[in-house]
Amino acid sequence: MIQIHFNNKISVSIIAFIFSISTLISCSSSNEEGNEIETLPTQTNTVGLTRNDTGALNDGYVLFAPIGSTTTYLIDKCGKQVKTWPSTYKPGQSCYILNDGSLLRTGNANNTTFNAGGKGGVIEKIDWNGNVTWTYTLSDALKCQHHDIKALPNGNILVIAWESKTNTEAIAQGRNPNLVPATVWSEQIIEIKPTGTSGGTIVWEWHLWDHLVQDFNPTKPNYGTVASSSKLINLNHNASATNQDWIHLNSIDYNASLDQILVSSHSFNEVWIIDHSTTTAQAKSHSGGNSGSGGDLLYRWGNPSAYNTGTTTQLFGQHNAYWIESGFPFENQIMIFNNGNGRTGGNYSTIEIIKPPVNGYNYIQSFPYGPTATSWNYNYGNPNNVYAQNISGAQQLSNGNVLFCNGPAGVFTEINSSGDMVWQYVNPVATSRILKQNDVVAQNSVFRSTFYPKSYSGFSGRTLKATITLENVNPLAASCK
Ligand SMILES: O=[N+]([O-])c1ccc(OS(=O)(=O)O)cc1
């Protein structure tokens, strides 16, 4: 605590200094002489920009969609608002700025059948001026978009969607009848070619249900040895009589040079790569496409017990698996936010980069799939630094820094390649209200934060002007240029 004897001699410049060090006057009392004492807490900002050190990558903006809000925000690295896009939907859950400056976002359509974390159901494009220019609804009693989408270079959009199967259908495929809920949510990936201002054509699709193996019932289809069927998904792995959300994909990415798709399965603790060069018919089968494997898994990493080839789990409820851009440190490798929920050795989050053993359009088949070691990681062995139980993500930046989102806490942190924090921002947008400094910080979770450099094509020809902070006051942001 700093105590200042407040009297007439105090100069205006000291007051200005006090505010410029982002310290807020919180209370006052009297000393023995009867002079008023102002007590200045050493407390710094609780929301908005909380840290901005030398070394932060400040040539761009951060996009985020607070889970409790229908507005999507773009801020600069001083924590000031640059742009907002209103919507009628809360997120469902990811959002992106496209090359033409429009926002591509998912929305929560409040599907009552698929009532689980990450539910969406609506995809919308909102132009730079805030006009909704396209919408697509994928939300009914049999299917529902959730978590993430990916815009393709040709303008089409890849979508992850739950696909409901009855317990009868699951048992008919070889699911253990003792471990089946009333409906089992499988997964599909569809590619939508948008048309007009709403709707579109599904031009490609992949269904997980076409790529099953089971060693439970020899009289049913898909019967085989799980360990020698690593390209297939074990219908009885993670089987439960109560949990419908069997797979729970939570991210999707696309690699244009390989023409492959990367998804993350929260429940399997694995990331999977599948071929996108296939026709839909080949994607249903086990052959065809650049890889020759049809729609079977080309690669999987994170949990060898999912295919009975080991017990060393590397991923624990991970999110945001994506290929790092060409030209960036660790280019073409895969970055993963490893939440660490259920981690051997305690719950804590790590950020990891792995180099998949790519070999042409395929992956070296050593079991369990490599690599055994990460190319880079943050927070390994530091259980106390960060723990985000769910949602969240991390992004490699061009200079080797990493921006990560602790989703449940609504905190975005930039670290340098040595793991030192250089920038931090706390989302002040809570459910139904904007938090003020020193309010209790709660209900401000964010699925993911995404950095866009000033040079990003979507900003070309646009005026991006920093205006206010989202929260009421922020001396650190005010002094930031
Ligand atoms: O609270 N949510 O909005 C939420 C919770 C879980 C969730 O699923 S997860 O796989 O992204 O953690 C998604 C959203």
Q: 103 alpha carbon to ligand 1 midpoint, in Å?
A: 21
Report the share of the chain in percent with pLDDT over 90. Answer: 88
> Do the bridges between strand 297-301 and strand 270-275 make them parallel or antiparallel, or are there none, so unpaired?
antiparallel
pLDDT tens-digit readout, 12-26: 333 333 333 333 333
Q: How confident is the model at residue 365 (pLDDT cuts 50, 70, 90)?
A: confident
266 CA: nearest ligand 1 atom? 10
Atom 8 (ligand 1) nearest CA: 117
Please check the confidence at residue 41 and state whether its pLDDT lies above 60: no
Of 93, 148, 387, the residue with max ligand 1 atoms within 8 A of its CB, to mutate for a pocket test, comes to 93
pLDDT tens-digit readout, 113-129: 999 999 999 999 999 99
Average pLDDT of the residues in 363-369: 93
Of 108, 339, 391, the residue with max ligand 1 atoms within 8 A of its CB, to mutate for a pocket test, comes to 391
DSSP string, 14-73: HHHHHHHTT----EEEE-TTS-EEEEE-----SSEEEEE-TT---SEEEEEEETT-S-EE
pTM (2 decimals)? 0.91
Closest CA to 151 of 101, 109, 187: 101
The whole-angstrom separation of Cα 53 and Cα 386 is: 19
Q: What is the pLDDT of residue 44?
A: 84
Q: 317 alpha carbon to ligand 1 midpoint, in Å?
A: 11
Q: 117 alpha carbon to ligand 1 midpoint, in Å?
A: 4
Q: What is the pLDDT of residue 43?
A: 58
Tokens of 450: 């995404």
Tokens 């390994």 correspond to 380
Atom 1 (ligand 1) nearest CA: 117
Q: Give me the domain span that covers residue 338.
A: 2-479
Closest CA to 471 of 86, 79, 84: 79
389 CA: nearest ligand 1 atom? 12
Q: What is the pLDDT of residue 481?
A: 84
The whole-angstrom separation of Cα 215 and Cα 147 is: 31
Please check the confidence at residue 219 and state whether its pLDDT lies above 50: yes
408 CA: nearest ligand 1 atom? 1
Average pLDDT of the residues in 446-458: 98
Average pLDDT of the residues in 186-205: 98
Average pLDDT of the residues in 145-155: 98
Q: 390 alpha carbon to ligand 1 midpoint, in Å?
A: 6
Q: What is the pLDDT of residue 385?
A: 83
Q: What is the pLDDT of residue 79?
A: 98
Q: Is 458 helix (H, G, I), strand (E, B) or coil?
A: helix
- Ligand 1 pocket by C-beta < 6 Å: which residues? 67, 93, 117-118, 147, 248, 250, 266, 319, 390-391
Atom 2 (ligand 1) nearest CA: 117
Question: Among the listed ranges 71-75, 145-149, 248-252, 365-369, which one has the minimum average pLDDT value?
Answer: 365-369
How many Cβ atoms from other residues are within 10 Å of residue 284's Cβ? 17
Atom 7 (ligand 1) nearest CA: 117
Q: 119 alpha carbon to ligand 1 midpoint, in Å?
A: 8
Q: What is the DSSP letter of 462?
A: -
Q: 391 alpha carbon to ligand 1 midpoint, in Å?
A: 5
pLDDT tens-digit readout, 381-423: 888 789 999 999 999 999 999 999 999 999 999 999 999 999 9
Which position has the higher pLDDT, 162 or 18? 162
Q: How confident is the model at residue 7 (pLDDT cuts 50, 70, 90)?
A: very low
Phi and psi at residue 292, in whole multiples of 5°?
80, 0
Closest CA to 240 of 177, 188, 187, 186: 177
273 beta partners: 262, 299
Atom 4 (ligand 1) nearest CA: 117
Residue 220 burial (C-beta neighbours within 10 Å; 0-12, 13-18, 19+): middle
Q: 70 alpha carbon to ligand 1 midpoint, in Å?
A: 16
pLDDT tens-digit readout, 304-357: 999 999 999 999 999 999 999 999 999 999 999 999 999 988 999 999 999 999
Q: 148 alpha carbon to ligand 1 midpoint, in Å?
A: 11
The total of structural domains in the chain comes to 1
- CATH number, domain with residue 465: 2.120.10.30
Report the share of the chain in percent with pLDDT over 70. Answer: 91
Q: What is the pLDDT of residue 383?
A: 83
Q: 319 alpha carbon to ligand 1 midpoint, in Å?
A: 10
Average pLDDT of the residues in 184-213: 98
**Arithmetic mean of pLDDT over the chain:** 92
The whole-angstrom separation of Cα 270 and Cα 301 is: 5
Please check the confidence at residue 37 and state whether its pLDDT lies above 50: no
Q: Is 254 helix (H, G, I), strand (E, B) or coil?
A: strand
